[in-house]
Amino acid sequence: MSVQKPSIPKGTRDFGPAVVARRNYIFGVIRRVFEKFGYAPLETPTMENLSVLTGKYGDEGDQLLFKILNSGDFAKDVTPEDLASGSKKILPKVAEKGLRYDLTVPFARYVVMNRGTLTFPFKRYQIQPVWRADRPQRGRYREFYQCDADVVGTDSLLCEAEIVLMMSEVLNTLGLTEHTIKINHRRVLGAFYQALGSEGTETDLFVAIDKLDKIGQEGVTTELLERGFSAGAINTLFQLLTVEGGFAEKLERLQVAFTQAGVPTEADDQYKGLQELRQVQELLQGFGFTQFQHLEFDPTLARGLSYYTGCIFEIKINNVNMGSVSGGGRYDNLTGSFGLPGVSGVGFSFGVDRLYDCLDELNLFPEGAAAITRCLVANFDADSMTQMLPVLRQLREANVPSELYPESTKLAKQFKYADAKGIPYVLLQGSEERAANQFKLKDLRTGQEQQLSLAELIPLLTSQNQ
């Protein structure tokens, strides 16, 4: 009999008690903010039909879907001809379900299936894991949690403004004050494309622009030249991209630049992008938003997902080397592929796993976030164990998370246990204390001990500020 070393699949993780406690802290902050803005929770199945998932994330996204082998004899419909013509032909016959890739598409599917019963505008949040068959690396996992908040059924830019407010509140509550909320508009990108004379393809241009901060002007230039853009067009592009100034100034200057470059106003009204960004800014001002130094209009922000049509968002934590911790945008026609056209939606998502890594690196988890038990009751001997049972019950009735050490061993061992678990208090009643009908309470953080009666004890342990 061979003993095999246990392992877990690539890109997945176990979360130990301390990690779960800290993750729950992040989830709690996000959930409270979402609910404060009127978003209601939704959960959807881990599995979706592949017909729902495929084709929504582009070819690369389809590659990254985890597929679920059909139950039973999954290969019963596969013919020798299928095998000869390759995996693409076989796939629909052996797998009809897959793990969800994000939360937005299942949400769109849910909205379409329940359109008769939902009240619009429909605001929902969703905190669940998603799976991608990516190559794992720093800040990138195959199983990770997303925290989405989306509204469908309204075009109002109030939603965009409130997304900025929610992003800002979550980040500030978590202590991630060194952040930048980047915002752009798909129409602004479209205007760039027109300003360049509609050379090459739109997506090639967007993908290249998005990399500007990573590979620099030279890198983008070579990439665009390879994709068939002319040197003149690239030159125009960088003149447009390098507009300076604050939020409002950049909007003004781009407007002028677009007009000079001859971007037509009538066809698809490309100036609407700039107008909408301006309106979002005005709504935020009206609300009394004070964090404009963290809100940046970044004309280079493109984002990969092809379904965005309006404002797009992304959050960068400036003092940590980490990919974006949040992203989102407006999509005018997400439900269209499910047979419900013309429903506009806007939403965004936090990546909890990356937020965790940021908080961890910056040491921003609050003290005691990992500790569950508040008071360890020491166990001297069998007799004292019996004596302490009613005390334990009273502590728990007072909602003090507490535990009695289950064995009568040396106190040193029991203290070590409390210390390792981060338990702040140890309660002792040996023969001396029992004779006086008192307890000894030791605060492990300060090392101080005090003699107390049970009546004095409980208020001390229930007080919040200790």
Residues of this chain that bind RNA (CB under 7 A): 7, 9-11, 58, 60-61, 102, 132, 134-142, 144, 146, 207, 210-211, 214-215, 303-305, 314, 323-327, 349, 351, 353-354, 380, 410-413, 415-416, 418-420, 426, 428, 430-433, 440, 442, 444-445, 447, 449
Distance CA 380, CA 388 (A): 10
The least CB distance from residue 14 to RNA, in Å, is 12
Please answer whether residues 310 and 279 qualify as being in contact, where contact means their C-beta atoms are separated by less than 8 angstroms. Answer: no
Q: Which is nearer to RNA, 84 or 420 (CB)?
A: 420
CB of 319 to RNA, least distance (A): 16
115 or 211: CB nearest RNA: 211
User: What minimum distance in Å lies between the beta carbon of 213 and RNA?
Assistant: 11
Task: Answer yes or no: are the C-beta atoms of 235 and 217 closer than 8 Å.
Answer: no
Kindly state the smallest distance separating residue 104's Cβ from RNA, in Å: 8
Of 42 and 167, the one with the shorter C-beta distance to RNA is 167
Q: Are 376 and 191 in contact (CB under 8 A)?
A: no
* Complex with RNA: residue 179 or 303, whichever CB lies closer: 303
DSSP annotation of 127: E
Kindly tell me which of 305 and 392 has the beta carbon lying closer to RNA: 305
Rounded to a whole number of angstroms, the minimum distance from the CB of residue 298 to RNA is 14
C-beta closer to RNA: residue 380 or 405: 380
**Beta bridge partners of residue 140, listed in sequence order:** 137
Task: Please say which residue, 237 or 274, places its beta carbon nearer to RNA.
Answer: 237
Q: Which is nearer to RNA, 283 or 310 (CB)?
A: 310
Rounded Cα distance, 196 and 380, in Å: 81
CB of 249 to RNA, least distance (A): 27
Going from the C-alpha of 80 to that of each of 68, 70, 84, 89, 92, the distances in angstroms are: 22, 19, 6, 11, 15
Written as one letter, the residue type at 349 is: S
Nearest to 198 by CA among 125, 119, 262: 262
Q: How far is the CB of 135 from RNA (least distance, A)?
A: 4
Those residues with Cβ within 8 angstroms of residue 311's Cβ, 6 or more apart along the chain or in another chain: 157, 160, 183, 184, 185, 186, 276, 277, 280, 329, 330, 346
Q: Parallel, antiparallel, or unpaired: how do β-strands 375-377 and 425-428 relate?
A: parallel
Q: How far is the CB of 433 from RNA (least distance, A)?
A: 6
Closest contact distance (angstroms) between CB of 10 and RNA is 4
- Reported as type and span, the H/E element at residue 389 is helix 382-397
**CA–centroid distance for 133 within its chain:** 18
CB closer to RNA out of 97 and 354: 354
Quick one: residue 422, left, alpha or beta (phi over 0 = left, psi -120 to 50 = alpha)?
left
Q: Cβ of 101: how many Cβ atoms within 10 Å?
A: 22
Calpha distance 208→300 (Å, rounded): 9
